[in-house]
Structure formats: structure tokens, C-alpha cells
């Protein structure tokens, strides 16, 4: 047996095309998998919202994934993703924390803990808080060629695919392409035109993806594709996030500058003609308040408000 596999025979299920319980939305897509191997709750495989994004996500991307996953969960919509590092895991975890339903689709056997840092999440889903599925047999190790196939299943389970952060080039485009081929809606969170990590989302919007810049945008799209009742729109923002969660108003010039474009402190000080020490103190205060976060490359930029 491959190291890292789990054994939960009581919660294993296998669904073949034509079986009761095989997801009908997946059956109607091009090249549906002949068989699905799963662990967890097979009823979790209902029409869903897919949330995907960069593995090397910024705090902004992670918070967007979590914010919109919580919104979906609050309205009874299942969330599907690929359990990859970054935006995928953020969406899964936020859904579980909101007591929602989430499905992880793997590019390896459904009983394999991959990536290793997703082990705890996968264990929760396999225990019945959702489901972990794959078209690859039990114990199959991950391989590069498996992930495009995995992506078509993510798109096929979803009625809409939301890309929260993506650079160019990006593997998320594979899922978006599969979504379009299957006739699904593609949604994208816009980002700064100065940040390469948002170039993929901005291009998707230019190519026709629906922009999602607040909870109301997402709920409109979920209603439009039939995942929620339009009457639910009147509950928009009901504790999930504000009416414009990704662009809070502020008179603070430092916060406004960092929301517009992530910057290093020295760049920020130059742009605002500030003393470098004063700029650092201001940024530190904003970080402590959870308004901005330090990115892996040393810049500071926005987080979606909680």
C-alpha cells in the first residue's frame, strides 16, 4: 500500500455511470468518468460551486476563497475544489468551519493524503463532513498527468466555477476551460492590474467571465445558475461579509494605497512622500488590525475583511 493512504472501508463508496447516486450533473458533461472512488458522504456530490485559485496565493486570494466559500455554505451550496495548497484548501476549510458541505477531487487515489498538508482536512471529509473522490483507483499515487483529468471532474460537479486568484500562465485555466466545455458559468475575482498574480483572473473577465467583487455578485451568479433560490438574494450580506467585502472604504492614505496596489514599505513611503519609519509604523498597525497582510515577497497588500 502507498505510504500516506488511509483505511476507512465503512465510508468507502464506488459509483459507476448509471448507478443510483452517480452525479447527474457530471453525467451530462463531456467525457464523464466511468467510475468514481470515494470516501465520506456520497450525498455530498450534489450540484456545487467550484472555488479554485493559485497554489501560491496571497493573503488576499486566501481570504477571497474563504469569504466566498462561507457565503456559499451559508446558503446551502456545496463547495468543490481540488485540495491543493493555497486557494483550494482555504475554500475547503472555510466551508467546513461554516458547517457546510465540501468535496475534494484528487489527482490520486481518494485514499491518498495528497498534498500532505491537507491530511487533517481530508480526514474530516472522509469521516463524513463531505467527501473525497477520484476517478483513479485506490492507492494510486499522484502524477502530473492526472491533474487535468481531475480538473474536468471539478468543473463537471459544479454549476459555476469561481477563480479567486490566478496568474498567467495558470493551471486554473484548465478547470475554466473544462467548465466552458461543459456549459458551466465561469466567475472571476478581479485584482490589481499591477499584480501578476491577478493577471489570469483579469484576463478571464476580459474574455467574458462574470466579475465577482462582493457577496451580492456571487449570490446573483448562484441564483442565475440555479444553485440558490432568487428569494435568497434578500439575505445577502447576512453576517457573511459586507456589501463590498473586497474594497472597504477608508480615508487612511496608507490603507487606500495598499488596497490599490500591494507594495513594499520603502516603495509605499516613496509613493506617499512619507518618512520610512512612519510608513512602517502605519503598516504595522494595519497588519495588527487585520486590514493588510505581508505577502511572501515582502510586499503588503489587502485582505478581505472578516
> Which tens digits make up the pLDDT trace of 11-69?
899 999 999 999 999 998 989 999 999 999 999 999 999 999 999 898 889 989 999 99
Residue 146 lies in a domain: yes
What integer pLDDT is reported at residue 1 of this predicted model? 37
pLDDT confidence band for 6 (50 / 70 / 90): very low
Sign of CA dihedral 67, 72, 76, 78: negative
Mean pLDDT of 59-86: 95
160 and 42 together in one domain:
yes
Tell me: pLDDT of 118 over 70: yes
Residue 104 lies in a domain: yes
213 and 267 together in one domain:
no
Quote the cell numbers at residue 131: 467527501
What integer pLDDT is reported at residue 143 of this predicted model? 95
Tell me: pLDDT of 160 over 60: yes
How distant is the alpha carbon of residue 65 from its chain centre? 4
Query: What's the rounded Cα separation, in Å, for the pair 136 and 111?
Result: 10
Query: What's the rounded Cα separation, in Å, for the pair 106 and 84?
Result: 9
Which of residues 183, 204, 235 is at a domain's end? 235
Range name among 35-44, 92-101, 225-234 with the lowest pLDDT average: 225-234
Query: What's the rounded Cα separation, in Å, for the pair 47 and 206?
Result: 27
Backbone angles phi and psi of 100, in degrees to 5: -95, -175
22 and 140 together in one domain:
yes
Tell me: pLDDT of 245 over 70: no
Mean pLDDT of 234-255: 55
211 and 166 together in one domain:
yes
Domain with residue 293: its CATH number is 1.10.10
Residue 118 lies in a domain: yes
178 and 285 together in one domain:
no
pTM for the model stands at 0.83
Residue 110 lies in a domain: yes
Residue 223 lies in a domain: yes
227 and 263 together in one domain:
no
Quote the cell numbers at residue 216: 451580492
Query: What's the rounded Cα separation, in Å, for the pair 293 and 197?
Result: 16
What integer pLDDT is reported at residue 240 of this predicted model? 38
**Beta bridge mates, 14:** 37
What integer pLDDT is reported at residue 304 of this predicted model? 59
Mean pLDDT of 293-306: 78
Spell out the alpha helix ranges (H) of the chain.
Answer: 24-27, 59-74, 87-97, 119-124, 146-157, 172-181, 199-206, 215-224, 253-260, 265-271, 276-288
176 and 278 together in one domain:
no
State the helix-helix crossing angle for 215-224 and 59-74, rounded to 10 degrees.
Answer: 50
- Average pLDDT over the chain reads 89
158 and 264 together in one domain:
no
pLDDT confidence band for 238 (50 / 70 / 90): very low
211 and 265 together in one domain:
no
Residue 4 lies in a domain: no
Please state the domain count of the chain.
2
- Pairing assessment for the beta strands 130-134 and 35-40 based on DSSP bridges: antiparallel
What integer pLDDT is reported at residue 250 of this predicted model? 64
Tell me: pLDDT of 72 over 80: yes
Containing structural domain, residue 265: 253-302
72 and 218 together in one domain:
yes
Amino acid at each position: 500500500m502507498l505510504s500516506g493512504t488511509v483505511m476507512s472501508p465503512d465510508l468507502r463508496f464506488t459509483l459507476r455511470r448509471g448507478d443510483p447516486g452517480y452525479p447527474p450533473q457530471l453525467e451530462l458533461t463531456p467525457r464523464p468518468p466511468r467510475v468514481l472512488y470515494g470516501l465520506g458522504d456520497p450525498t455530498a456530490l450534489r450540484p456545487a460551486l467550484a472555488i479554485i485559485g493559485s497554489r501560491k496565493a496571497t493573503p488576499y486570494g486566501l481570504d477571497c476563497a474563504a469569504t466566498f466559500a462561507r457565503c456559499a455554505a451559508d446558503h446551502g451550496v456545496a463547495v468543490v475544489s481540488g485540495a491543493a495548497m493555497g486557494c483550494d484548501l482555504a475554500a475547503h476549510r472555510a466551508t467546513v468551519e461554516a458547517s457546510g458541505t465540501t468535496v475534494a477531487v484528487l489527482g490520486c487515489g481518494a485514499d491518498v493524503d495528497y498534498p500532505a498538508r491537507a491530511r487533517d482536512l481530508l480526514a474530516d471529509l472522509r469521516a463524513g463532513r463531505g467527501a473525497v473522490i477520484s476517478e483513479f483507483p485506490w492507492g494510486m499515487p499522484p502524477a502530473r498527468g492526472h491533474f487535468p483529468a481531475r480538473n474536468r471532474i471539478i468543473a463537471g460537479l459544479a454549476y459555476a466555477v469561481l477563480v479567486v486568484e490566478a496568474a498567467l500562465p495558470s493551471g486554473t485555466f484548465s478547470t475554466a476551460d473544462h467548465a466552458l466545455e461543459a456549459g458551466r458559468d465561469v466567475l472571476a475575482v478581479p485584482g490589481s492590474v499591477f499584480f501578476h498574480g491577478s493577471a489570469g483572473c483579469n484576463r478571464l473577465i476580459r474574455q467574458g467571465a462574470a466579475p465577482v467583487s462582493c457577496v451580492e455578485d456571487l449570490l446573483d451568479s448562484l441564483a442565475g445558475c440555479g444553485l440558490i433560490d432568487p428569494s435568497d438574494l434578500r439575505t445577502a450580506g447576512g453576517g457573511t461579509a459586507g456589501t463590498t467585502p473586497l474594497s472597504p472604504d477608508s480615508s487612511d492614505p496608507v490603507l487606500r494605497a495598499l488596497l490599490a496596489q500591494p507594495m513594499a514599505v520603502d516603495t509605499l513611503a516613496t509613493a506617499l512622500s512619507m518618512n520610512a519609519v512612519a510608513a512602517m509604523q502605519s503598516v504595522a498597525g494595519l497588519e495588527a488590525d487585520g486590514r493588510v497582510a505581508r505577502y511572501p515577497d515582502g510586499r503588503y497588500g489587502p485582505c478581505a475583511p472578516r
